[in-house]
Amino acid sequence: MMQDVAVGEVYRMRRQHPCGSWEWTVYRVGADIGLECRTCQRRVMLERRRFESRVRSRVSPAQGT
């Protein structure tokens, strides 16, 4: 089971984005997780379960926590 996800955290995913980036920033948390690519700023929404299966590791915690 994964820890709580917070806005502003950076995660490394299992698969590379087509732009070449591996890292994504969380911009929304709820039933779905909103992610923004750190290279091209593309925004996507993933169901929490799908997010948890695709994430490899947390790169940096949210600022101010």
Domain parsing of the chain, residue ranges: 10-60
CB 46 within 8 A of CB 54: yes
d(CA 20, CA 7): 23
d(CA 56, CA 65): 21
- The answer to whether the predicted template modeling score (pTM) of the entire model surpasses 0.75 is yes
pLDDT confidence bin for 17, thresholds 50/70/90: very high
d(CA 63, CA 46): 22
CB 11 within 8 A of CB 57: yes
What pLDDT, in 10s, does the model give residues 20-62? 999 999 999 999 999 999 999 999 999 999 999 999 999 988 7
65, pLDDT greater than 60: no
